[in-house]
Amino acid sequence: MLALFKKELRAYFASPIAYLVMGLLLVLTGLFLWVFKGPFNILDSGFAELSSFFLLVPWIFLLIVPALGMRSFAEERKMGTLELLFIKPLSHLQIVLGKFLAIVVLVLIALLPTLLYSYTIGQLGMETNNFDSGVVMGSYFGLVFLLATYAAISLFTSSLTQNQVVAFILGMLLSFCCFYGFEALSTLISDGSSALNLAQWGMKARFENIARGILDIRDLIYFVALCAFFLFLTVGQLKKLNR
């Protein structure tokens, strides 16, 4: 599995994909947070905090994570190299985990430069470093869980088709439904308690709980279970393809 993980990660960096992902993440967050006028602009908000950054990144992940995951199995199927993976001494789970970890690690590397934003807002306040570092750490922690779930969803949709574009669209749509779909449906319910309970089934509400610095074991279990569910579906799909 480790060899497959290294191979996948090298393949990303041997092509423009890794650099495009890192560039897209940094350019979009930089423009929306510091240049473009609007609700995400930190300078316009008057508060030295990164809440707008953590509101923005999950939506950017909806674009870049499915773009990374779309080639994982769709390209292997189209090129006829998936069968070569099956004959190697790797279980289906190890194949899935190797590709899954490559996507997660690549996006985490892309996130590393954004840590400079914490230093920047620390210098912008009336008092140096006068911001809630616990909330920032909790938000980054939540991003890791969100990223892992997006990656699992994207791998699953990639295993369903040989067409990378179809895999990308399916991955983006399914990730969007899991992230925002339940909250969107909750707005159609007049009863406040029922609407709140429905919204809690979505990743957006769970991520926001973690981003507030509140580490509830139920939120962590939710992300782990959802991620494991889509990885399990991917393994099942690979078994079907290997018959």
Residues whose CB falls within 8 Å of the CB of residue 127, separated by 6 or more in sequence, listed in order:
none
Burial class (CB in 10 A: 0-12, 13-18, 19+), 17: middle
The type of residue at 56 is L
CA atoms within 13 A on the CB side of 16: 3
Q: What is the pLDDT of residue 238?
A: 93
Q: What is the residue whose two structure tokens read 């970890």?
A: 101
158 and 70 Cβ atoms separated by less than 8 Å: yes
Q: What is the pLDDT of residue 100?
A: 96
Q: What is the residue whose two structure tokens read 């609700």?
A: 39
Mean pLDDT in order along the chain per 10 residues (243 residues)? 87 87 90 83 73 89 93 87 84 94 95 85 63 77 94 96 94 95 87 84 90 82 96 94 82
Q: What is the pLDDT of residue 203?
A: 94
156 and 228 Cβ atoms separated by less than 8 Å: no
pTM of the model: 0.92
What are 151-162's pLDDT values in tens digits?
999 999 999 999
Give the C-alpha separation, 1 to 4, whole Å: 5
